[in-house]
Chains A and B, each alone.
Chain A
Amino acid sequence: MTKKTRRNIYRTARLTAFYIFVSGVTIAMLLPLYFIVSLSFLSTREAYRYPLPLLPALNVEYKLTHGERGYLLSVYDPIDKEYQTVLDTGDLEKMSVYMKSQLGAPMSVPEIEQQIARLEHEAPVFFTRRKSLLYNYETFFKVAGTGQAVPALIRSLEICAMTIAISLTIGGMAGYAFARYTFRGRDALKFSVLFVRMFPGVAIAMPMVIILVNMGFYDAPIGLSLVYSVGSIALTIWITASIFMGIPVSLEEAAQVFGATKIQAFLRVTLPLSLPGLAACAMYAFLGAWNETVAAIILTQFNPTFSVVVYQTVLGAVGQVNLAAAGGMVMALPAVIFTFFIRRYIHQMWGGVTV
């Protein structure tokens, strides 16, 4: 063997080891996530199995025969590799409900009757139905927080929208000032903003109870968005300041030479250029308001936010793992999607000066 090939082998081995290592880390990171996704698609029957199935079934294979009390319904269990009896009843209505709520593969009474008709010629009868994978999600929105889930979702979106509006206008203006002007107290101000950002939200929420009750905003979306804006304004100031610093003043000046006013120059030149950054700020504000739980618990009573509804469902959900998982997924999805869009900014911020 020449020296060169030996070196090549060594290098390949190192590279392989590296990729195995990276894959191991990735698996460790993703494994819990995989299970919450998978659990959210399990039917109630599957969720009560132990050990839990690693994959949600896509189809339910039914077997129907005559039973003592009417008809005997069995389903195929992919783990034990056998048909298991789940129901013995003559009440087709009951059978239909059971198929929907426990097995997640609904059949109407006439459809069941069709299969029963086949029983005349052959017994047992086998048939397969596609499982409705979103059944847990539908159920979650129907039952979570005693029907509060949908209003709470709408409320949370309102809160996010208001938080974005407040923090982009107020924070954006200040960010522009920090980027374009030098004035007394500039650095001190910029760092007090950072301090406000680090101050725990829960410490604002408690005394805000009194203030919001006086304003009539307690238990209302606007009250919460006022609290969430405290943190996201600070973040917006820091991000927009760095964005506006990255856009040369000379562009605005050029526009002014061609007869635009200062405000026109800003609206026509700087603003369009800063849109991607502003979008990132908006997503940050969204994430902050969407993910927050403790202030939402303190500042709401009869009108909870979506995160509070999920929290309550999960808290009381020892028996309903599939519903808890579905709720967690609904909560996680927007957060993960928006994080994907602003990942570059997060990297920058984590690698740069920080928040």
Chain B
Amino acid sequence: MTKKQWKKLGEQAVPYLLILPVVVYYAAFWLRPVLISVIGSFTDAAGHLTLQNFAMVIHDEAFIPALRNTAVIVLFSVTLEFFVALFLALLINRKFVGASFFLFLAMIPMALPSAAAGAMWITGLTAHGWINSLLHYLGFLAKGKSIYWLAGSETSLLALLIVVDAWQVIPSVMIILLAGLQNIPEEMQEAGYVFGGNYLTVLRKITLPLLKPTIQTAVILRLISAIQIWLIVVILLGFSRLPVLVERIVYYHKEVRGLDISYQMAMGYTIIVAVIVSLVSLAYLQVSGAFKKERGEVA
């Protein structure tokens, strides 16, 4: 080959060289751990193929409750968060003095690290915490009385967790939806009114369909993080009181470590969480059109 051909080949190789480190890194620290856990979960101690590990997880008495609690939290919190956020976004969708400051404030709950959010809610929800104090000052609680927030039934605890989660998440979902609303050209909605639509028909026939991609994004991102809820549950209620999937991983890996089965149990739960989240992620990539060949450039 001539010198010129070599040079051309070298130039063609540049992009591949630039992405090589990522590929190597992901092979070593993403693909390898994933393969290890998949293979590990299908083999027993002697290295034979087995489904024993999953049978063990399914027979864990906390498995069904964990799955159910996670499902309930995900279903109700995402639904509640979405509708409240949409309502707020529709009402706030206009330019106003202090809008950018308001948007920043709305980001703080989401920015709060989960350990800090845990500190905030546990100090509030104890019998002598700030929530009861506030209710007292507002006149809802008589002197010396307190509400035992964390002593209720399973249903009321789930409701509490959903509300706590909603506080943290609604503002950011609202921002996402606001951004989506502001990308809709005003003429479209105006056209709807010109043709005699009232607010609700315009909302239903024009605004919401145009908002669909944003809604999908917001909801699926929320699903992914809601499935992985655990820290607030543990801080408020401790381990095993209201089991959820990721809480089980930490429980088996840290709280009852040293048992023969601890690692396998933790691994089994890990795989289950990974599979569920991956399915949701794939669904997201599907609806966002990532699998369509002729997609345009994404920002």
Interface residues of A (CB under 8 A from B): 18-19, 21-22, 25-26, 28-33, 35-36, 38-39, 48, 50-52, 54, 166, 169-171, 173-174, 176-178, 180-181, 183, 187, 189, 191, 193-196, 198-200, 202-204, 206-208, 210-211, 226-227, 229-230, 233, 237, 242, 245, 287, 290-291, 293-294, 297-298, 307, 310-311, 314-315, 317-318, 321, 324-325, 327-329, 331-332, 335-336, 339-340, 343, 346-348, 350-355
Interface residues of B (CB under 8 A from A): 12, 14-16, 18-19, 21-22, 25-26, 29-30, 32-34, 36-37, 40, 88, 91-92, 94, 96, 102-109, 111-124, 126, 128-130, 132-134, 136-137, 146, 167, 171-172, 175-176, 179-180, 182-183, 214, 217-218, 221, 224, 227-228, 230-231, 234-235, 238, 246, 249-250, 253-254, 266-267, 270-271, 273-274, 277-278, 281-282, 284-285, 288, 290-291, 295, 297-299
The residue from A29, A52, A348 contacting B106, defined by CB atoms under 8 A apart? A29
Residues of A within 8 A of B128 (CB): 48, 50, 52
Query: Smallest CB-CB separation from B97: which chain A residue?
Result: A19
Contact A335 B113 (CB under 8 A): yes
Query: Smallest CB-CB separation from B167: which chain A residue?
Result: A32
Interface Cβ pair total, 8 Å cutoff: 281
Residues of B within 8 A of A196 (CB): 26, 30
Contact B179 A351 (CB under 8 A): yes
Interface of A is mostly: helix
The residue from A25, A203, A226, A291 contacting B34, defined by CB atoms under 8 A apart? A203
Closest CB-CB distance, A57 to chain B, in whole Å? 15
24 pairs, CB–CB < 8 Å, chain A vs chain B:
A18-B96, A29-B105, A30-B105, A33-B120, A177-B14, A181-B18, A191-B291, A198-B278, A198-B284, A204-B33, A206-B270, A208-B29, A211-B32, A211-B33, A227-B29, A291-B115, A293-B113, A297-B253, A314-B235, A318-B126, A329-B116, A331-B116, A331-B119, A346-B107
Contact A351 B180 (CB under 8 A): yes
Complex Cα distance A294/B179, Å? 31
Known contacts A50-B146, A310-B115, A314-B115: does B16 contact A183 (CB below 8 Å)?
yes
Closest CB-CB distance, A217 to chain B, in whole Å? 11
Query: Smallest CB-CB separation from A79: which chain B residue?
Result: B137
Known contacts A176-B18, A290-B113, A310-B116: does B34 contact A204 (CB below 8 Å)?
yes
Contact B91 A198 (CB under 8 A): no
Complex Cα distance A92/B144, Å? 34
Residues of A within 8 A of B299 (CB): 242, 245, 348, 352-353
Known contacts A26-B102, A336-B108: does B32 contact A32 (CB below 8 Å)?
no
Residues of A within 8 A of B171 (CB): 29
Known contacts A318-B126, A336-B108: does B253 contact A331 (CB below 8 Å)?
no
Residues of B within 8 A of A206 (CB): 33, 37, 249, 253, 266-267, 270
The residue from B111, B217, B274 contacting A335, defined by CB atoms under 8 A apart? B111
Complex Cα distance A211/B297, Å? 37
The residue from B32, B107, B136 contacting A51, defined by CB atoms under 8 A apart? B136
Known contacts A21-B91, A35-B123, A343-B103: does B30 contact A294 (CB below 8 Å)?
no
Residues of B within 8 A of A325 (CB): 119-120, 123
Contact B19 A173 (CB under 8 A): yes
Complex Cα distance A251/B232, Å? 50
